[in-house]
A and B are shown apart, each in its own frame.
Chain A
Amino acid sequence: MLRLITFIIALIWSFPALAQSEADIQIGLSDETVAITSSFDGAEIVVFGSVENADENLLKQDKYDIVVTLSGPPKRVTVRKKEWKFGIWVNGDERSFVGVPSSYAVATTRPLDQITQAKDLKILEIGFDNLTLRQQAVTAEPQPETQTSAETDQAEEDEDLDSFRRSLVRLKASQGLFVRGIGDIRYLSPTLFKATLRVPANVPIGHHRARAYLFADGEFVTTRSVLLNVRKQGFEQAAYDLAHRNGLLYGIIAVLVAMATGWLASVVFKKD
């Protein structure tokens, strides 16, 4: 009996919250696959979505915010830092990170810091700086320089790691693989929206995940995701697949193509 009463009280208490969190989000892609062909030079991915069961009041006040992210297949990435040695710049210190999204695009209705608090973004892993970039467990034998590492305190190592992490993000951004687009989400109607995300020509192939987050008045409500398949098509795919599955045969074909070209050239230009 007591249990039932507490349950009812709890239900009544949580009712406003329930009513609010009823809002939901649904998304779909303009294309479920991105085909990389010979003319591929990057593409624009359009994510359509709708806010369902939206609170009329919040809608009128423009209090709903949406963030759409598109992240590429996770990979292991090694970041290397050049050092001045023997008069030239050589790759020295390095850190490896696992589970790094090979590409990452964010589209938002407003700047992220206006949508919600930093700690929520951190928890939800939204934004370049909030991605979990875990360092790969160090297995390698200690290098000559790191002999003093026992004495280096943890803080220094953390700071080092952080500079590598920041560089990873900066380099990915400079390669066009990490993209952020504030205002790349437009409302087509009060509840229908369209997010445009750019994938560059060097987009990694594989399954990319498009994820939409709904925020109401600064609070995270819900999230949905769909998969996007990026793959090479036609000749590009055949060439890539062959090179990676049967490199020997690919190499032999490459040689035959070269011989044919060389022979053709000697025939065409022989009379000249």
Chain B
Amino acid sequence: MLRRNVLSTVGFSGSRALNLYLPIAEMSVNVLVLFSMGAGVGFLSGMFGVGGGFLMTPLLIFYQIPPAVAVATEANQIVASSFSGALAHFRRGTLDIKLGIVLLIGGVAGSAIGVAIFSSLRQAGQLDLIISILYVLFLGTIGSLMVVESLNAIRKNRGKGAEVAAPPPPQQSWINNLPFKMRFHRSQLYLSVIPVLVLGMVVGILASIMGVGGGFIMVPAMIYILRVPTNVVIGTSLFQIMFVTMFTTVAQSATNQTVDIVLALILMVGGVIGAQFGARAGQKLKGEQLRALLGLIVLAVCIRLGWDLVSTPAELFSIGSVGGH
């Protein structure tokens, strides 16, 4: 008996040497697994120039991290990746700070609303469900659009490289007719602040409920609805994402105590390293192929989350402690 104990103790420490206890998630995790997840998603985000939050949060949930912790911690990780990205754009001057600030005002309001929704959903026991449904809807829509669009591009076999120069559509007249116009010099736009604030707010709500930066919505919306010049779109969107995720991190932490700083740090380090390699790999692939690949990955995550919603669960019951301590 004693010898068995000694042996099992040795086996214990040997196979679990890389385990780390997360202070907020209150569970023991394998550092290598999380680091690889961070690096893998970082690689994809570097390759495709996307934030990666929409892949990281579901992955964390698949790894049994409580969804509430996954979402809030992911916001913290995005601060790191968007900060280094925004810095680069700031140095190159490829961002419209004024536009970014107006977006940000909407974003902070949206994030505050989102955190409040998040808290009440958690109280009602429906948070996990709503997170899953939102992910299935967004990932399904965006993944399908990407796959269809890139397959069309490949079929036409234009082979123009990374940038597909979409002709900017005529600005919608309803946007022109809105009041409270403001001049954005850097973007050479004279535009009502209402659509900018609304866009910022929608992205802020998504940031706090889904743990995403929201670039996948903001970038197309800025290009196609606001008609912001493409050279400042990415930088401005990163600027807004950075501040909104900062605000979300602090608000989640103050309201729900769900930001796990240890988990966030592992993901950040993995993420920034992965992104470097991803960016280099991305230069060697064609734009359409990249988008088709990313679209397929997004659809795969969507199907996995959707399957969990519709398939009969093995365990119908779940437990949760409600309220404080």
Chain A contact residues, CB within 8 Å of chain B: 36-42, 75-82, 84, 87-91, 94, 96, 164, 167-168, 170-172, 174, 186, 201-202, 204, 232, 235-237, 239-240, 243-244, 247-248, 250-255, 257-259, 261-263, 265-266, 269, 272
Contact between chains at A262 and B257 (CB < 8 Å): no
Is B252 on the interface with A (CB-CB < 8 A)? Answer: yes
What sequence of 0s and 1s flags, for each residue 149-179 of chain B, a beta carbon within 8 Å of any chain A beta carbon? 0000000000000000000000000000000
Docked pose: A82 CA to B308 CA in angstroms: 12
Chain B residues within 8 Å of A254, by CB: 76, 249-250, 253, 259, 261, 264
What CA separation (Å) do A56 and B325 show in the bound complex? 48
Closest 6 CB pairs of A and B: A251-B253, A262-B83, A251-B250, A265-B272, A258-B79, A167-B317
**Least Cβ–Cβ distance between B128 and chain A, in angstroms:** 8
Inter-subunit contact A239/B262 (CB<8 Å):
yes
B126 on the A face (CB < 8 A): yes
A38-B24 in contact (CB<8A): no
* Given A88-B309, A248-B253: A258 and B317 interface contact (C-beta under 8 Å): no
Q: Are A257 and B261 in contact (CB under 8 A)?
A: yes
Nearest-CB residue, chain B, relative to A164:
B317
**A40–B259 touching, CB < 8 Å:** no
Distance, CA A186 to CA B2, complexed state (A): 11
Q: How far is the CA of A174 from the CA of B318 in the complex (A)?
A: 11
Given contacts A172-B319, A255-B246, contact A91 B253 (CB under 8 A): no
In the complex, residue of chain A having the shortest beta-carbon distance to the beta carbon of B123: A78
Q: Are B276 and A272 in contact (CB under 8 A)?
A: yes
From 10 to 32 in chain B, residues with beta carbon under 8 angstroms from any chain A beta carbon are: 12, 16, 19-21, 23-24, 26-28
Q: Could you say which residues of chain B place their CB within 8 Å of the CB of A248?
A: 250, 253-254
Q: Are B319 and A251 in contact (CB under 8 A)?
A: no
Chain B 303-321 near chain A by CB (<8 Å), digits 1 or 0: 0000001101101111111
Residue numbers in B under 8 Å from A79 (CB-CB): 317-319
Nearest CB of chain B from residue A253's CB, rounded to whole Å: 7
Q: Whole-angstrom distance between the alpha carbons of A96 and B126 in the complex?
A: 15
Instruction: Tell whether B322 is near chain A: CB-to-CB under 8 Å.
Output: yes
Contact B19 A247 (CB under 8 A): no
Q: A82: nearest residue on chain B (CB-CB)?
A: B316
User: What are 11 A-B interface contacts by the 8 Å CB criterion?
Assistant: A41-B28, A77-B319, A80-B317, A89-B309, A172-B319, A202-B26, A251-B253, A262-B80, A262-B272, A265-B84, A269-B276
**Shortest beta-carbon distance from A35 to chain B in Å:** 11
Q: Which B250-275 residues have a C-beta within 8 angstroms of A?
A: 250-255, 257, 259, 261-262, 264-265, 268-269, 272-273, 275
Which of B83, B318, B321 makes the CB contact (< 8 A) with A82? B318
Given contacts A41-B28, A258-B249, contact A76 B322 (CB under 8 A): yes
Convert B74-88 into 0s and 1s, putting 1 for each residue whose CB lies closer than 8 angstroms to a CB of A. Answer: 001101111110011
Tell me which residues across on chain B come within 8 A of A247, comparing CB atoms.
253-255, 257
Q: Which residues of chain B are within 8 angstroms of A258 by Cβ–Cβ distance?
A: 76-77, 79-80, 83, 246, 249, 264, 268
Q: In angstroms, how far is the closest chain A Cβ from the Cβ of B320?
A: 5
Closest to B272 in A: A265
**Given the complex, which residues of A lie within 8 Å of B310, measured CB to CB?**
87-89
Our pick among B26, B273, B321 for the contact of A77 (Cβ within 8 Å) is B321
The distance in angstroms between the C-alpha atoms of A265 and B268, with both chains bound, is: 10
B268 touches A261 (CB 8 A): yes
- Interface mask (B25-62 → A, CB under 8 Å = 1, otherwise 0): 01110000000000000000000000000000000000
Contact assessment for B87 and A263 in the assembled complex, using a CB-CB cutoff below 8 Å: yes
A residues within 8 A CB of B79?
A: 255, 258-259, 262
Q: Are B320 and A78 in contact, CB atoms less than 8 angstroms apart? A: yes
Residue of B at shortest CB range from A266?
Answer: B84
Q: Is B269 within 8 A of A250, CB to CB?
A: no
Q: Is B229 an interface residue (CB 8 A)?
A: no
Q: Of residues 61 to 79 in B, which have CB atoms within 8 Å of A's CB atoms?
A: 76-77, 79
B323 CB contacts on chain A under 8 angstroms: 76
For A201, the chain B residues whose CB sits under 8 A away are 21, 27-28
Q: Which has the most chain A C-beta neighbours within 10 Å: B82, B133, B246?
A: B246
CB < 8 Å: which of B82, B261, B317 contacts A250? B261
12 extra interface residue pairs, beta carbon distance < 8 Å, beyond A39-B21, A89-B310: A77-B320, A78-B125, A82-B316, A82-B318, A89-B309, A171-B317, A251-B249, A262-B79, A262-B84, A265-B273, A266-B84, A269-B276
B126 is contacted by which of A78, A90, A236, A259 (Cβ under 8 Å)?
Answer: A90
Q: What residues on B are CB-neighbors of A204 within 8 Å?
A: 26
Q: Is the CB of B257 within 8 A of A41?
A: no
Contact with A along B273-311 (1 / 0, CB 8 A): 101100000000000000000000000000000000110
State the Cβ distance, A227 to closest chain B Cβ, in Å: 18
Residues of chain A with a CB closer than 8 A to B321's CB: 75-78
B87 touches A262 (CB 8 A): yes
Contact B313 A82 (CB under 8 A): yes
A contact residues around B12 at 8 Å (CB): 41
Q: Do A262 and B254 form a contact, CB below 8 Å, given A79-B319, A201-B27, A255-B249?
A: no
Q: Does residue B145 face the partner (Cβ distance < 8 Å to A)?
A: no
Min distance, Cβ A123 to any Cβ of chain B, angstroms? 26
Q: CA of A94 to CA of B322 in the docked complex: distance in angstroms?
A: 12
How many angstroms between the C-alpha atoms of A258 and B321 in the bound complex?
30
Identify which of A40, A88, A250, A262 contacts B28 (C-beta below 8 A): A40
Alpha-carbon gap, A261 to B312, bound state (A): 42
Residues of B within 8 A of A41 (CB): 12, 16, 19, 21, 28
